């Protein structure tokens, strides 16, 4: 009776298997299931059973194959989850926000640039200068009666304002060139808001060395166009001083000598701008450990100022001209 029940069960499952379409992948899996189940069944059944039912492993393997080919054999991945993951997936976008070409001439920007420039050249006038010992002229004339030159610092301040506004304007032009001539991903990296990016990186669960390196690399890319604009403006000023401006007591009457001097200034400007970019990136990465956004901005400003000074000191120690 047990054998008759087994044969009826096999016939029922085989008819269910042939009634539904089967994918090629399921057929391949069923073939493997057939061979494995047949081998295990042939080894486990007694010899007497095999003599009555023949090689009983094959029917049982078909039974197992029918179970494998049923709906329960499909990998345990819900269809809804697959569809939702494919629908909700969004490719990474690279938004590029271009500022106006006249952003340097805005009220706030121009006011900050003017205040910074005037303080840079007028604050040294407020420093006390003690009289030199043995100087009779200083003893006879009190310091209050000495006239202070206020015109020269004013001229220097105006030149500094014009220089900074020109650098910002050139940077805006370089940003537009980058948007048109490089990929959108690279343009986004060059125009990225670096302090905000450092704040986003701080929210991630990354190690401290990786965070410092990531902020330094992002600052290097974001500060590159500003340094390039400063280099272009400085090269333009040096070219004007060497070739265009006329001076009565100009000892460089030879054209070859002017070209040599201009090449030397280009070399020095390149070294200073490169040092500014490198040290600004390093300073931003280190100071970002204190505060992600503010620390990055402060470290970038300090490195930008200290980079040329460190480069000059290193060249002097190596007895090299710059």
- What pLDDT, on a 0 to 100 scale, did the predictor assign at position 69? 44
Residue 268: per-residue pLDDT: 93
What is residue 254's predicted lDDT score, i.e. its pLDDT?
75
Q: What angle do CA 149, 115, 298 make, to 5 degrees?
A: 125
Position 129 scores a pLDDT of: 60
pLDDT value of position 72: 45
The CA–CA distances, whole Å, from 277 to 129, 154, 167, 297 equal 36, 29, 15, 13
> What is the structure's pLDDT at 228?
96
CB-count burial class (<10 Å; 0-12, 13-18, 19+) for 275 = buried
User: Rounded CA gap, 281 and 198, in Å?
Assistant: 12
Cα 21 to Cα 40: distance, rounded to the nearest angstrom: 27
Q: CA-CA distance, 295 to 287, in Å (whole number)?
A: 5
pTM for this prediction: 0.66
Q: Distance between CA atoms of 68 and 17, rounded to whole angstroms?
A: 10
What pLDDT shows up at residue 131? 59
Q: Which residues of the chain have pLDDT under 70?
A: 1-92, 127-146, 246-253
Supply 178's token pair. Answer: 């980058």
Q: Tokens representing 284?
A: 């931003």
Nearest alpha-carbon partner for 204 in 90, 292, 91, 296: 292
């Amino acid at each position: 009776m047990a054998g008759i029940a087994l044969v009826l069960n096999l016939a029922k499952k085989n008819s269910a298997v042939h009634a539904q379409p089967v994918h090629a992948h399921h057929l391949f899996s069923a073939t493997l299931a057939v061979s494995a189940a047949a081998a295990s069944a042939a080894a486990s059944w007694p010899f007497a059973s095999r003599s009555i039912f023949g090689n009983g492993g094959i029917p049982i393997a078909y039974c197992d194959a029918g179970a494998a080919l049923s709906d329960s054999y499909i990998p345990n991945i819900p269809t809804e989850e697959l569809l939702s993951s494919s629908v909700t997936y969004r490719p990474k976008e690279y938004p590029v926000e271009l500022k106006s070409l006249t952003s340097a001439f805005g009220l706030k920007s121009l006011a900050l640039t003017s205040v910074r420039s005037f303080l840079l050249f007028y604050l040294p006038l407020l420093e006390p200068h003690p009289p030199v010992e043995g100087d009779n002229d200083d003893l006879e004339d009190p310091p209050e009666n000495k006239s202070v030159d206020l015109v020269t610092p004013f001229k220097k301040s105006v030149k500094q304002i014009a220089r900074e506004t020109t650098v910002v304007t050139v940077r805006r032009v370089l940003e537009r060139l980058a948007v048109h001539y490089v990929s959108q991903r690279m343009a986004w990296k060059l125009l990225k808001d670096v302090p905000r990016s450092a704040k986003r990186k701080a929210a991630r669960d990354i190690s401290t060395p990786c965070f410092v390196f990531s902020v330094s690399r992002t600052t290097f890319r974001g500060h590159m166009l500003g340094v390039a604009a400063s280099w272009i403006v400085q090269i333009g000023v040096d070219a004007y001083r060497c070739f265009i401006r006329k001076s009565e007591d100009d000892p460089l009457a030879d054209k070859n000598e002017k070209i040599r001097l201009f090449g030397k200034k280009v070399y020095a400007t390149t070294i200073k701008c490169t040092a500014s970019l490198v040290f600004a990136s390093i300073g931003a990465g280190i100071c970002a450990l204190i505060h992600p956004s503010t620390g990055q901005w402060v470290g970038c400003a300090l490195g930008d100022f200290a980079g040329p000074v460190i480069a000059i000191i290193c060249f002097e120690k190596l007895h090299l001209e710059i």
